[in-house]
Structure formats: structure tokens, C-alpha cells
């Protein structure tokens, strides 16, 4: 899978791409990340990509010309692809969304900056709009990293244990169950006896029960309501 990222700050991705699961995905050839500085598509010698909004107001908006030029140049080379606009106004990123995006051969992510986009960027290009939460960040680079991380771990062969991806939190509408490792007792806190029993059916039943309980506690919704979502 190839993820193309349109950003004004490609350097922000340096450490992120060199570490952990994302690095492993790249090393195994399951994922490639193409960072594109769309400032190079600006029309003037100063590389201007933003301007003041018509009608007044604080801050600056990203101009349409560099972004249109960047998208059109990329797709002229690679062909049409699924495009994602990273914006607080988008649909909230979910595990189901990550799984759908992870199955695509190529993906284009546009990282916003400043006070947002000229609306013609939305109107003139077809996007899926995605948000990672109801808060404001300095730009779309961190949301882009979140999406890349979420889809990297879903690429075949990336995780050491394929079952890990199948047991991810939220995959079945439930949070993950509590897990324990050695030592069996730590500062008076013991590992639940069922996990030491060797009875796999009882262990699985306990895990599902605990996942449902944790989900209900954290959300206030009944477990069956969570599974229906």
C-alpha cells in the first residue's frame, strides 16, 4: 500500500516513519509513505500557499491553486486514488474506517494548516473528510500519522502475531479486555485465577465478559448497544 501525504512540513514525519510498527511495515514492503511538500506547487517565487480570507476574519487560509496542482500532478502520474481531507469537520476516525482504508492500494492524505482551506478545495475535488477528534490541532500532520499508524498495523504480515489485529479494541464494538503478565502477584495485586486455569473456554468467556464490562463503564452504554453500533 502507498500513502501519499500532501503537507507543508514533511520533516514532522521523520522520526515517526523511522520507528516501531510503521518502520516495520515499510521494511517488509507492506507500506510506502510518499511525502509531498505542496509548497513547491505555489505559483509565485515566494512559494505562497496561504492568503487572508475574503470578508475579513483572523488567520490565513490555504489557497486552492497549489493543492489542485499537487493533486492533479500526482494523479496524472499514478492515476485516480482515494483522497482524504483531514479536518475537524470530518467524520470521526473509527477502526472500521481504518480497516477500509487499509485495504486500498493507494491513499492520498491532505494535511491542513492555518485557519483551514479555501472552500473551493472541498468543492472542486472529491474527498472523504476525516477527523481524529473534537479538538483543534496546529495542522493535519498528526492526524495523518494517526491514520498511517492505524492502517500500517493492518497490512498483512506486519504484526508478529496475526491474531493481534483480530483482537484490537473496537473491532467488535468493544474495548479490549484486561491483560496480565508476570509476576503473578505485584504489590498485593494478583492475576485473576481464571487466566491461570488453562481452561481456554473459561478464559475466552471471562475476556468477553470483561471487555463488555469495561466498554459499559467507559461509555455508559450497555454492551449490547455497543455491539449494535
Q: Which residues pair with 61 in a beta bridge?
A: 51
Q: How confident is the model at residue 225 (pLDDT cuts 50, 70, 90)?
A: very low
Whether domain 169-228 has CATH 1.10.1270.20: yes
Q: Tell me, what's the pLDDT at 229?
A: 35
Cell numbers 491553486: residue: 65
Lowest mean pLDDT among 154-158, 172-176, 192-196, 213-217: 172-176
Tens digits of per-residue pLDDT, 41-80?
Answer: 998 889 999 999 999 988 899 999 999 999 999 999 999 9
Cis peptide before 212 (omega within 30 of 0): no
The secondary structure of the chain in percent helix, strand, coil, rounded to multiples of 5, reads 40, 20, 40
Q: Tell me, what's the pLDDT at 162?
A: 60
Q: Which residues pair with 82 in a beta bridge?
A: 107
**Architecture of the CATH domain 2-152:** 3-Layer(aba) Sandwich (3.40)
Q: Which of 83, 142, 139 is nearest to 107 (CA)?
A: 83
Report pTM: 0.83
Tens digits of per-residue pLDDT, 96-135?
Answer: 999 999 999 999 999 999 888 999 999 999 999 999 999 9
Q: Tell me, what's the pLDDT at 228?
A: 42
Domain boundaries, the chain: 2-152, 169-228
Written in H, E and C, the secondary structure of 131-197 is: ECCCCCCCECHHHHHHHHHHHHCCCCCCCCCHHHHHCCCCCCCCCCCCCCCCCCEECCEECCHHHHC
Amino acid at each position: 500500500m502507498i500513502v501519499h501525504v500532501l503537507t507543508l512540513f514533511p520533516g514532522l514525519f521523520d522520526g515517526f516513519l523511522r520507528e516501531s510498527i510503521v518502520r516495520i511495515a515499510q521494511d517488509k514492503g507492506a507500506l510506502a509513505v510518499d511525502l509531498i511538500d505542496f509548497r513547491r506547487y505555489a505559483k509565485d517565487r515566494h512559494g505562497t500557499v496561504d492568503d487572508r480570507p475574503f470578508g475579513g476574519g483572523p488567520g490565513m487560509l490555504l489557497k486552492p491553486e497549489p493543492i489542485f496542482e499537487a493533486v492533479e500532478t500526482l494523479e496524472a502520474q499514478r492515476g485516480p486514488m482515494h483522497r482524504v481531507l483531514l479536518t475537524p469537520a470530518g467524520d470521526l476516525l473509527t477502526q472500521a474506517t481504518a480497516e477500509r482504508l487499509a485495504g486500498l492500494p493507494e491513499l492520498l492524505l491532505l494535511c491542513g494548516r492555518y485557519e483551514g482551506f479555501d472552500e473551493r478545495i472541498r468543492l472542486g475535488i472529491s474527498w472523504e473528510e476525516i477527523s481524529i477528534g473534537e479538538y483543534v490541532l496546529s495542522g493535519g500532520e498528526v492526524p495523518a500519522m494517526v491514520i498511517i499508524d492505524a492502517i500500517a498495523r493492518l497490512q498483512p504480515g506486519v504484526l508478529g502475531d496475526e491474531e493481534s489485529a483480530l483482537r484490537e479494541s473496537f473491532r467488535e464494538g468493544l474495548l479490549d479486555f484486561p491483560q496480565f503478565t508476570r509476576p503473578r502477584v505485584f504489590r498485593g495485586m494478583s492475576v485473576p485465577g481464571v487466566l491461570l486455569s488453562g481452561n481456554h473456554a473459561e478464559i475466552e468467556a471471562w475476556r468477553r465478559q470483561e471487555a463488555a464490562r469495561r466498554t459499559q463503564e467507559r461509555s455508559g452504554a450497555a454492551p449490547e448497544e455497543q455491539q449494535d453500533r
